[in-house]
Amino acid sequence: MEWAVSLDKINFSYGDKEVIKDLSCQLALSNIYTLLGENGAGKTTLIKLLLGRLSPLSGQISILGHKPGSQAVKGCVGAMLQVGALPSNIRVIEYIHLFQSYYDSPMSWQGALQFAELEKQKTTFFGQLSGGEKQRLLLSLALIGQPKLVFLDEPTLAMDVHMRQRLWQKVVQLKERGTTVILTTHNLQEVESVTDQVLVLRDGEIVAQGTPSQLKSHLQRSELRFFSDKSEVKIKSLLPNFMVHKEGQKIYIATDDAPKVISLLRQHSVAMHDLSVTPLSLTQAFIDITRGKLP
Amino acid sequence: MKTEFNSLFIEAKLDLLCGLRTPSFAVPTLVFPVLLYLFFGVFMMHGKQQGNDEVSIYTLVNYLVFGLMAPALFSFGANVAQERESGWLELKLISPLPPLYYLFAKCLSALIFTLLIAVLLFSTAWLAGAVHISLLAWAKLLALGLAGTFPFCFLGLAIGLKFSAKGAMAITNLVFLPMAMLSGLWVPIFLMPEFLQQFAWILPSYHLSQLGLSIVGLGQGYSIFFHLIALSLISIIFAVIAAALYQSQGMPVRKRHRP
């Protein structure tokens, strides 16, 4: 079976600091993968290793059956990285023509503009685009070579809600066309519905991998939400072994035994208005996993 | 191959456009050498009979060297540092564009700037400075100017790869202005204190200007080969440093085995 990405016992260090530790995994073709991890977990380093910008100290990496960074790979991989700024006095269409010239069978310039929804900004200088428009152009440049594998690093940054929705639709379309997508994001709610697999990195290791629902079900936790007249401190003192936090006037409690928590709070006469028990969100699963509360 | 050359052409075109569309860069780069030449090589000589032509030609050669230094140093020094820091260089390096094409394109762009500066300076010298040298001498000066752009490209690249964007701008200025001064491009070198004159030996701009002056018969007595060898050596040193730094961009940590 050909894998989009195959990692075999990869190790990488910056000086004496180990950033990636014995990391192994295989990512299948035509899937959407989300890399999750707190800052410093090794996500950026891993992406740089996959793009061939760094070489592992030991272990093997294969991208679409080739060595990362080789010319064979570069022609069929696209990447949307977090770029501070492109030269501001180059026009949108000029960037598109430039990136078209890199590939043997690129998307047409009309197609690229349409994909980025920048037809009206065709002759606009990069410096005059809005944050969202810049992101869309970068996405379009990443996809202009019609890659088999694409890396999207925080693709929805600076995009409005409608644009985000359309972007995720486009990501799903990419998958349907056979493209493998590897993305990083901090907005887990958004990717929950589009991603096939989530890989959670902690200290350079994959500590959890699975579909969003698998990750959540492994934790078998749910979240209680209610309004209360009691303070967060008071509730925490009643439930010392639970994760309690308050946002606005609403109390959130993560638990694997919701009836027990409700009963306990009632025993202590804690009024719970608009009480709801919802399955654990991917965000909460991620927090639990990265803080060491593994299933 | 056709696609790669097309990429190189578009890269160079955009780099050139980027420079030309930045008035704070393009105007001083193209206009200053001409203005300085007009002032020192034409107006200051107005009314003086003796040695008029020689001073005008001498000034022309020196301002050609001064003019070509700026686009090469700044296009590489400050711009590469900025593009490296912003991630733009990273996007190029992960694309199928051969890594050296990014540098070739910048060199091409610097060469075109040199060509524009030379055309402006030569026209001004011919029309306002009454400089009349043989067609072959004009051609040799132009060729020298184009070839002489490379050492400054290498030096600029080394600065751009070594320092941050802000640092590279400051360092480039720190290199550019003293280098022009100590090479005798503004004030003839023999008018400087003797200890300052010694710096000229290690400066590419000095050897380049001496080669130019030799073409028009105003060299200071050292052989053309001496300056050629010196300029080549300095260029090779800059190129090796730049190549090592460029290589290091793709491999920040040396490969080592785990204990």
What pLDDT, in 10s, does the model give residues A97-148?
999 999 988 999 999 999 888 999 999 999 999 988 998 999 999 999 999 9
Task: Delimit the CATH 3.40.50.300 region(s) of chain A.
Answer: 5-209
Q: CA–CA separation, B74 vs B90, rounded Å?
A: 20
What is the C-alpha R_g of chain A?
A: 22
Residues of A whose CB is below 8 A from B95: 74, 99, 102
**Which burial class, exposed, middle or buried, applies to A177 when counting CB atoms under 10 A from its CB (0-12, 13-18, 19+)?**
exposed
Output the pLDDT for position B219: 81
Output the pLDDT for position B124: 93
Residues of A whose CB is below 8 A from B6: 101
Instruction: Say what angle helices B23-37 and B99-127 make with each other, to 10 degrees.
Output: 40
Note whether B252 contacts A: Cβ–Cβ < 8 A.
yes
Note whether B10 contacts A: Cβ–Cβ < 8 A.
yes
Output the pLDDT for position B258: 36
C-beta atoms of A89 and B11 within 8 A: no
Output the pLDDT for position B12: 93
Q: Which residues fall within 8 angstroms of residue A54, CB to CB, at 6 or more apart? A: A12, A45, A48, B251, B252, B253
Domain ranges (residues) in chain B = 2-250
- CATH number for the region A222-279 comes to 3.30.70.1360
B window 72-91, beta carbon within 8 A of A: 83, 85-88, 90-91
- pLDDT band at A1, cuts 50/70/90? low
How long is chain A?
A: 295
Output the pLDDT for position A295: 43
Note whether B53 contacts A: Cβ–Cβ < 8 A.
no
* Domain A5-209 annotated CATH 2.60.40.1220: no
Residue of B11, B88, B251 with shortest CB distance to A83 = B88
Output the pLDDT for position B254: 36
**Does pLDDT of A70 surpass 80?**
yes
Q: Which residues fall within 8 angstroms of residue B24, CB to CB, at 6 or more apart? A: none
Residues of A whose CB is below 8 A from B85: 84
Output the pLDDT for position A96: 96
Structure tokens at A26: 């295989």
Lowest-confidence pick of A27-36, A101-110, A152-161: A152-161
Other beta carbons within 10 Å of B125 = 27
How long is chain B?
A: 259
Residues of B whose CB is below 8 A from A54: 251-253
C-beta atoms of B258 and A77 within 8 A: no
Q: Nearest-CA residue of chain A relative to B253?
A: A14
What single string gives the DSSP state of each residue in B44-110? TTTT--TTHHHHHHHHHHHHHHHHHHHHHHHHHHHHHHHHHHHTHHHHHHHSSS-HHHHHHHHHHHH
Task: Give the residue ranges of chain B where pLDDT is below 50.
Answer: 251-259
- pLDDT band at A46, cuts 50/70/90? very high
Taking the CA of residue B250 as centre, how many other CA atoms within 13 Å lie in the half-sphere pointing to its CB? 14
CA angle B206, B173, B125 (to 5 degrees): 50
Output the pLDDT for position B51: 52
Output the pLDDT for position B255: 38
Q: What mean pLDDT comes out for the span A66-81? A: 91
Residues of B whose CB is below 8 A from A102: 3, 7, 95-97
- pLDDT single digits (tens) A240-280: 877 788 877 888 887 878 888 888 888 888 888 888 888 76
Rounded to two decimals, the ipTM of the complex is 0.84
Residues of B whose CB is below 8 A from A75: 96
Share of chain A above pLDDT 90, in %: 41
Residues of A with CB under 8 A from a CB of B: 11-15, 51-55, 57-58, 69, 71, 74-75, 77, 79, 81-87, 89-90, 94, 97-99, 101-104, 141, 145
Note whether B21 contacts A: Cβ–Cβ < 8 A.
yes
C-beta atoms of B253 and A54 within 8 A: yes
**Does pLDDT of A215 surpass 80?**
no
Note whether B1 contacts A: Cβ–Cβ < 8 A.
no
Output the pLDDT for position B256: 37
The CA distance from B5 to the nearest CA of chain A, in Å, is 9
Output the pLDDT for position A288: 67
C-beta atoms of A141 and B91 within 8 A: yes
B window 92-111, beta carbon within 8 A of A: 93-97
Structure tokens at A282: 């991917």
- pLDDT band at A200, cuts 50/70/90? confident
Output the pLDDT for position B128: 87
In a mutational test of the A interface, the residue from B79, B85, B91 whose CB has the highest number of chain A CBs within 10 Å is: B91
* Helical segments of chain A, H only: 43-50, 71-74, 92-102, 109-116, 131-143, 161-176, 188-192, 212-219, 232-238, 258-267, 282-290
Q: Which residues fall within 8 angstroms of residue A267, CB to CB, at 6 or more apart? A: none
Q: What mean pLDDT comes out for the span A85-106? A: 93
Residue of B86, B95, B256 with shortest CB distance to A85 = B86
Residue of A13, A83, A141 with shortest CB distance to B253 = A13
Question: For chains A and B, what is the number of CB pairs under 8 angstroms?
Answer: 83
